[in-house]
């Protein structure tokens, strides 16, 4: 067996994803803060990738693990890079356009998209519980965004931002499946390295059209954002190495606590009534999916085992 293949370690996977949620929430706060200080979206994505690439190369050299990035699955890495880079633009765009807590809540729809992708891409049979959870979750999105209604005295959020947030969640679900597939044969360092190496040059070509001058504080925010992204990238990839994407995504819900606190302490924005009504529906639907996954995992079938790495 390839030494890069890891055995499932669900508790370690959950702990890593819990840490990932906190770091990603911090990164999102820094993205929004940098954008408010004049940093361009494309510029932020470039520095996120470039600085992470440097950090990864330094760590690989320091630990003598450059050999671990060798791969025979270059097409799979290229596909992951294409979807991952697109996903980054949508994720960052949602954070910039929406209040931090609302953007975070919408990102929680990723497990619902994972359910739909498991049907479309892998032909998995999805029962009443999980389809009910998907419907409940998207009902929560409607309550949260309230397009044209403004229920409970809450204001409807930017519809463009809401759409971008939903597309971002779809791409996050797809990327999770890609990473989990790569983890079957690739080391986490390899997955992160190739993602950075393949995307950074493309972003560098576009940088001259978007680069701007910034003061020292803004540069420090951008650098901190990129370092947080590097840490989150390693944590996320490793968590998917040890656990199922459909289950460990649950830990992402804790990022709403971070986002709410950052929204209040950094951006002076209190959570809206829409958030308190919509977010519990979204989180509850995700928990229902997780509960159903646990039940299914206890009664494996030949059909289920054939798509186990993509369970959702």
215: containing domain: 40-310
pLDDT of residue 34 exceeding 90: yes
Residue 3 lies in a domain: no
Q: What is the pLDDT of residue 203?
A: 94
In tens, the pLDDT along 150-204 reads 444 455 577 888 899 999 999 988 988 888 889 888 887 888 899 999 999 999 9
Stronger pLDDT, 300 or 168, i.e. the higher one? 168
* pLDDT (average), residues 18-30: 92
Residue 186 lies in a domain: yes
* pLDDT (average), residues 136-150: 68
DSSP state of 272: P
Q: What is the pLDDT of residue 215?
A: 93
Stronger pLDDT, 187 or 77, i.e. the higher one? 77
Percent of residues, the chain, with pLDDT higher than 90: 31
Stronger pLDDT, 63 or 167, i.e. the higher one? 167
Alpha carbon distance 312, 304 (integer Å): 11
The answer to whether 247 touches 106, Cβ cutoff 8 Å, is: no
The answer to whether 106 touches 278, Cβ cutoff 8 Å, is: no
Handedness of CA 18, 22, 27, 28 (dihedral sign): positive
Residue 27 lies in a domain: no
* pLDDT (average), residues 251-280: 81
Q: Which two tokens stand for residue 166?
A: 């939903």
Residue 262 lies in a domain: yes
Q: Which two tokens stand for residue 301?
A: 């079938």
Stronger pLDDT, 192 or 127, i.e. the higher one? 192
Write down the mean pLDDT value for the chain: 81
Percent of residues, the chain, with pLDDT higher than 70: 83
* pLDDT (average), residues 15-33: 91
Alpha carbon distance 11, 9 (integer Å): 6
* pLDDT (average), residues 111-127: 77
Residue 155 lies in a domain: yes
Q: How confident is the model at residue 148 (pLDDT cuts 50, 70, 90)?
A: very low
Residue 9 lies in a domain: no
Overall number of domains in the chain: 1
Q: Which of 43-47, 75-79, 301-305 is least confident?
A: 301-305
> Residues with Cβ < 8 Å from 65, sequence gap 6 or more?
59, 187, 189
Residue 84 lies in a domain: yes
Stronger pLDDT, 300 or 36, i.e. the higher one? 36
Residue 134 lies in a domain: yes
């Amino acid at each position: 067996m390839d030494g890069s293949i890891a055995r499932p370690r669900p508790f370690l996977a959950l702990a890593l994803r819990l840490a990932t949620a906190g770091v990603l929430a911090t990164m999102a706060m820094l993205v929004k803060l940098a954008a408010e200080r004049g940093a361009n979206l494309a510029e932020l994505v470039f520095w996120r990738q470039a600085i992470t690439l440097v950090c990864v190369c330094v760590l690989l050299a320091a630990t003598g693990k450059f050999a671990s990035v060798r791969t025979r699955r270059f097409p799979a890495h290229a596909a992951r890079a294409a979807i991952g880079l697109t996903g980054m633009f949508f994720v960052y765009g949602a954070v910039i356009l929406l209040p931090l807590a609302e953007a975070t809540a919408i990102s929680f729809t990723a497990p619902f998209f994972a359910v739909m992708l498991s049907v479309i891409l892998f032909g998995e049979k999805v029962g009443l519980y999980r389809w009910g959870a998907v419907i409940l979750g998207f009902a929560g999105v409607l309550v949260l965004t309230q397009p044209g209604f403004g229920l409970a005295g809450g204001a409807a959020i930017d519809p463009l931002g809401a759409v971008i947030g939903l597309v971002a969640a779809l791409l996050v679900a797809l990327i999770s499946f890609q990473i989990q597939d790569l983890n079957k044969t690739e080391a986490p360092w390899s997955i992160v390295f190739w993602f950075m190496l393949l995307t950074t040059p493309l972003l560098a070509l576009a940088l001259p059209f978007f680069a701007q001058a910034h003061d020292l504080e803004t540069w420090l925010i951008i650098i901190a954002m990129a370092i947080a992204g590097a840490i989150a990238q390693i944590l996320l990839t490793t968590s998917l190495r040890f656990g199922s994407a459909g289950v460990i995504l649950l830990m992402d819900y804790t990022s709403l606590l971070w986002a709410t606190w950052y929204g209040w302490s950094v951006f002076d924005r209190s959570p809206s009534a829409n958030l308190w009504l919509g977010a519990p529906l979204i989180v509850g639907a995700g928990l229902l999916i997780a509960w159903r996954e646990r039940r299914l995992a206890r009664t494996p079938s030949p059909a289920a085992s054939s798509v186990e790495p993509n369970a959702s």
